[in-house]
Amino acid sequence: MITVKTEKDLAKMREACRIVKEVHLYVEQFVKAGVSTAELDRKAEEFILKNGAKPNFKNYHGYPATACISVNDVVVHGIPSEKIILQEGDIVSIDLGAEYQGFHGDAARTHGVGKISAERQRLIDKTRESFFEGIKNARAGRRLGDISHSIQAYVEKNGYSVVRALVGHGIGRKLHEDPSVPNFGAAGQGVLLKAGYTLAIEPMVNAGAFGVKFESDGWTCRTVDGSDSAHYENTILVTGGEPQILTL
């Protein structure tokens, strides 16, 4: 079931999403060579709690941390660790969310660590741009497949691939609600979008092939071919006109 959010719901959701946006801006300053991903996770958790919200990934299906922090060929769901130390030239995706008064926000960003190669910068840029291509279709009266297709087309046109094994999602009173929001598919297909739908749109883009594998920790997801991967996500609100990006 896809829920239409009321203005009252949206007031809380906007606040959850504002906090998520702020956490990203706060944590980003600590992304430097020599920092562990566990340290970044602590900064994120502190900030969320200080803002009167809860880290909504923690304990979600047993997930052990506040953020998913994924370096280079890790696509998503990297578990923060004292042993994973950022190195100059790495790319690091930080995915995190917050729950505020019963509503959720979710967003991801990919950053370069220090000076990164032009190839890696291009992957980060095209991944972010594919999100903006997608939300051009996040309007009442369009179909979900219009979003999915425009993301896929943009990514593939630029020589990359979109991950198939994981998708975006509806969001609201739960972190993951209907509908699934794939980053691939056919235009004109799928759910008819309505004003008041809130979606987490999150392209996961591999520099090489789309295949991924999960590690024995049950979470860490890597590219099968060892190529780099980037992730970009925002929580958005579908309206009759321009979509609103709640986490930006």
Is 185:213 a contact under the CB 8 Å cutoff?
no
Least gap, CB of 114 to ligand MF3 (angstroms):
25
Cβ neighbours for 82, distance < 8 A, ≥ 6 positions apart = 36, 38, 39
Query: If binding is defined by CB under 5 A, does position 39 make contact with Co ion?
Result: no
Is 91:109 a contact under the CB 8 Å cutoff?
no
Could you tell me which stretch among 13-21, 26-34, 56-64, 137-145 binds ligand MF3 (CB under 6 A)? 56-64
Query: If binding is defined by CB under 6 A, does position 57 make contact with ligand MF3?
Result: yes
Query: If binding is defined by CB under 5 A, does position 9 make contact with Co ion?
Result: no
The partner in contact with residue 57, picked from ligand MF3, Co ion, none with C-beta cut-offs of 5 to 8 angstroms by kind, is: ligand MF3
State which residue, 43 or 104, has the beta carbon closest to Co ion: 104
Could you tell me which stretch among 28-36, 84-92, 105-113, 214-222 binds Co ion (CB under 5 A)? 105-113
Binds ligand MF3 (CB under 6 A): choice among 63, 81, 180, 239: 63
The partner in contact with residue 30, picked from Co ion, ligand MF3, none with C-beta cut-offs of 5 to 8 angstroms by kind, is: none
Least gap, CB of 95 to Co ion (angstroms):
7
Picking from 120, 109, 68, 79, the residue whose alpha carbon sits closest to that of residue 203 is 109
Query: If binding is defined by CB under 6 A, does position 45 make contact with ligand MF3?
Result: no
Binds ligand MF3 (CB under 6 A): choice among 73, 106, 133, 146: 106
Site map for Co ion, 56-95, x if CB under 5 A? ----------------------------------------
Site map for ligand MF3, 153-192, x if CB under 6 A? ----------------x-----------------------
State which residue, 16 or 200, has the beta carbon closest to Co ion: 200
- How many residues sit close enough to Co ion to count as binding (CB under 5 A)? 2
DSSP bridge partners of 95: 68, 108
- How many residues sit close enough to ligand MF3 to count as binding (CB under 6 A)? 12
* The 3-state secondary structure of the chain, one letter per residue: CCCCCCHHHHHHHHHHHHHHHHHHHHHHCCCCCCCEHHHHHHHHHHHHHHCCCEECCCCHHHCCCCEEEEECCEEECCCCCCCCECCCCCEEEEEEEEEECCEEEEEEEEEECCCCCHHHHHHHHHHHHHHHHHHCCCECCCEHHHHHHHHHHHHHHCCCEECCCCCEEECCCCCCEEEEECCCCCCCCCCECCCCCEEEECCEEECCCCCEEECCCCCCEEECCCCCEEECEEEEECECCCCEECCC
Binding region for Co ion (CB under 5 A): 106, 200
Where on the chain is the footprint of ligand MF3 (CB under 6 A)? 57, 60-61, 63, 68, 77, 95, 106, 169, 200, 202, 233
